[in-house]
Amino acid sequence: MATSNDLKNGMVLVFDNQLWQVVEFQHVKPGKGPAFVRTKLKNVLSGKTVDRTLNAGVKVETATVDRRDMQYLYNDGADYIFMDEDTYEQIPVTPEVLGDAAHFLLENQRAIVAFHEGTVLSVELPASVVLEVAQTEPGLQGDRSNAGTKPATLETGFEIQVPLFLNIGDKVKVDTRTGDYISRA
């Protein structure tokens, strides 16, 4: 148990027998009346986001979340298989839990897998990954006032917008949170 004053981003709480992750919070002390905490919570399993207001000092139930470093091994068609590097235990992760992280996964890549009571909650990738451009059209420079972009398919099959000077075989750094091109690697 914790109080609403102890909330932090990323903390997992239990409300109505469901797990909710704190996305953001704000302590508010109005000039008149008691203080309160305004929060934005994301349902860990469904991904639904809600706003919730809690009175200051109210007790909230926290969930124990175990975060383990794991290695992505392969996709067996239905699930993505991760291996615990300490115990060599292999764990299947469904595409629904993995979400957009599947666009940036390469074999033998490291990730942090979050568990609650044996259930996989989420997979966290590094903030950026380096991937190779598998397919793109040649970029043609022309008369334009700003830098142009073109679509490029990465080695994982995900398509992003890249600058015109990139070619097939170039390695690019991609932001895993937004899916945007960062730089040439």
Q: What does the angle CA 90 – CA 95 – CA 100 come to, to the nearest 5 degrees?
A: 115
Band (26; pLDDT cuts 50, 70, 90): very high
Give tens-digit pLDDT for 154-171: 999 999 998 888 889 999
Q: Report the Cα 93 to chain-centroid distance in Å.
A: 14
CA distance 64 to 71: 22
Using only C-alpha atoms, what is the Rg of the chain? Answer: 21
Is pLDDT above 80 for 63? yes
Q: Contact, 72 vs 92, CB < 8 A?
A: no
Give tens-digit pLDDT for 95-152: 888 888 888 998 899 999 988 888 888 888 888 999 999 998 887 666 555 677 888 9
Q: Order the strands of the 80-84 sheet from edge to edge.
A: 90-93, 80-84, 66-75, 110-116, 119-124
In the three-class reduction of DSSP (H, G, I as helix; E, B as strand; rest coil), residue 5 is classed as: helix
pLDDT of 38 reads 93
Q: What does the angle CA 40 – CA 101 – CA 71 come to, to the nearest 5 degrees?
A: 115
Q: Count of CB atoms within 10 A of residue 120's CB?
A: 17
Give the residue from 175, 179, 79 showing the smallest Cα distance to 127.
175
pLDDT of 80 reads 92
Q: Which helix (H) or strand (E) holds 96?
A: helix 95-98
CA distance 47 to 5: 24
